[in-house]
Amino acid sequence: MQYSHTTMAPIGKDTPDAELVQRAAMGDSSAFEAIMRRHNRLLFRTARSILGVDEEAEDALQDAYLQIWRALGSFRAEARLSTWLVRIVVNQALARRRRKAAPVVPLDAALYASDAATRSAFADDPARLPEKFAMRAELRRLMETRIDLLPEAFRTVFMLRAVEELSVEEVAQALGIPEATVRSRFFRARSLLREGLASEVDLAVADAFAFDGARCDRIVATVLAHGRSAGLTGSG
């Protein structure tokens, strides 16, 4: 692919997604880097909500980005770019999990669980928690642990709705499920979390699964290097 960096204005934070897609599809690596940096946190959190491990989520996201880069020419803006990206990352993460043969908690079992292990995970007596959990940093760690305990169907919806603040319609489009299902899963996820965290849930949501600059830079650098090796960038 050929692309001349002099044909368009410099890329900035206000450059529309549609322009970034067009330029990246033509081989402009700086445009694709802008796409990654703009959506990295959302997509990492999406992958992690399915895989449950930071390293696995990073690997899945990098693979998804290479797939996205190759497929940019097929994006028709019928949905928001972020929705399209989430859908690809979800599929990539699910495929990775299937290859790993990770155990999955059945949705019905999670909804109506009666076994002591499942119920106790969300029923700890708050009075027994160490006093240091009152600190925001410790509460965030506890929040992340509780979210990881959610069944995947609830966890992904909760991550997209509560942490990333996508609308019900956007989550439904991204996951390919009815809006009513998004609402019911989100409600159930919050109920499970509140059983363990009570009123502290809302205080920690915004900080859950922090996406630091080092991780963002690492993912971007790795994807760009693979993109160059695969010939996805232009010569300009």
Q: What whole-number distance in Å separates Cα of residue 62 and Cα of residue 221?
A: 10
Q: What is the pLDDT of residue 62?
A: 94
What domains, with CATH codes, occur in the chain? 17-101+212-229 (1.10.1740.10), 107-207 (1.10.10.10)
**For residues 233 and 2, is the Cβ–Cβ distance under 8 A?**
no
**What are the structure tokens assigned to 122, written together?**
């969300």
Q: What is the pLDDT of residues 140-189, one digit of tens each?
A: 777 788 888 888 889 999 989 988 888 899 999 889 999 999 999 999 99
Q: What is the pLDDT of residue 200?
A: 53
Q: What is the pLDDT of residue 165?
A: 85
**Interior angle at CA 62, CA 148 and CA 64, nearest 5:** 85
**Interior angle at CA 191, CA 187 and CA 196, nearest 5:** 150
pTM for the predicted model, two decimal places:
0.64
Q: What is the pLDDT of residues 83-128, one digit of tens each?
A: 999 999 999 998 888 887 645 444 444 444 445 555 555 555 555 4
More confident residue, 39 or 231: 39
Task: Give the C-alpha distances (Å, rounded to integers) separating 209 from 12, 44, 91, 123, 234.
Answer: 26, 9, 21, 22, 35
**For residues 151 and 188, is the Cβ–Cβ distance under 8 A?**
no
